[in-house]
Amino acid sequence: MPRTKMTRHELKEQDEITTSLQKFTDFVVLRKKEVTTALTVAAVLAIVIFGYGYYRSNRNANAQAQLSQAINTFNDTVNIKSAKERYEKTIVEAQKTYDQYRSLPISNIALYYVALSQEGLGNTAKATQTLQQVAEVGDASIKGVAQFAMGAIYKKHGETQKAIDVYKVLESGSRIRIGIFVRGEQATRSSEGLLPEAGFRISRLAVPAKRR
């Protein structure tokens, strides 16, 4: 089959494309080192960006898995019969999570469980200090949880006014329903709202029972 003769316009377009490709080829040959370097830098940047994204995702997953282990230990009353042993193990695991992933928001949730375990071991002063740290450095969600736990600890130990003061602060800046029930006194305070959720769902918010 005879080839179709190209029109003058098509010949002109083909010539322009050929000329452009030739110029680009000449440029690449002339600037081979610079072009190679630029392509290498671009490739490295792409790898770094991908690698950092993967690293962050993997780091978050590892942090959540480690925190889950601490929370499971805190709640494991079946396999760990001794409350003292359970709280001590929780502190070790939660503190490890906090130390390794301090730059992540999840570290403050780990610190929250350290505080609850400290209270369970009878170290109330240390527990309230740790909760105060969580409230100061944590995001809005875990801050409210820490303040709520702090108020519950004060209330449990009969420090009613301190509990009320904490709940007043919480009431003014949080969406959480709070009830303070003081034995023998007509003191009930509440605020309407929802318990804020942390980035990693806290499976149980509880203040350990006072040791005898």
Domain span holding position 128 = 9-173
Q: Is residue 13 part of a domain?
A: yes
Q: Is residue 125 part of a domain?
A: yes
Q: Is residue 191 part of a domain?
A: no
* pTM value > 0.75: no
* CATH code for the domain in which residue 68 is found: 1.25.40.10
Measured CA to CA, the distance from residue 33 to residue 208 in angstroms comes to 67
Domain total in the chain: 1
Q: Is residue 24 part of a domain?
A: yes
Q: For residue 157, which of 166, 144, 169, 170 has the smallest C-alpha distance?
A: 166
Q: What is the pLDDT of residue 57?
A: 79
Q: Is residue 4 part of a domain?
A: no
pLDDT digits over 73-120, tens only?
Answer: 999 999 998 999 999 999 999 999 999 999 888 899 999 999 999 999
| Cα dihedral 128/134/135/140 (nearest 10) | -150
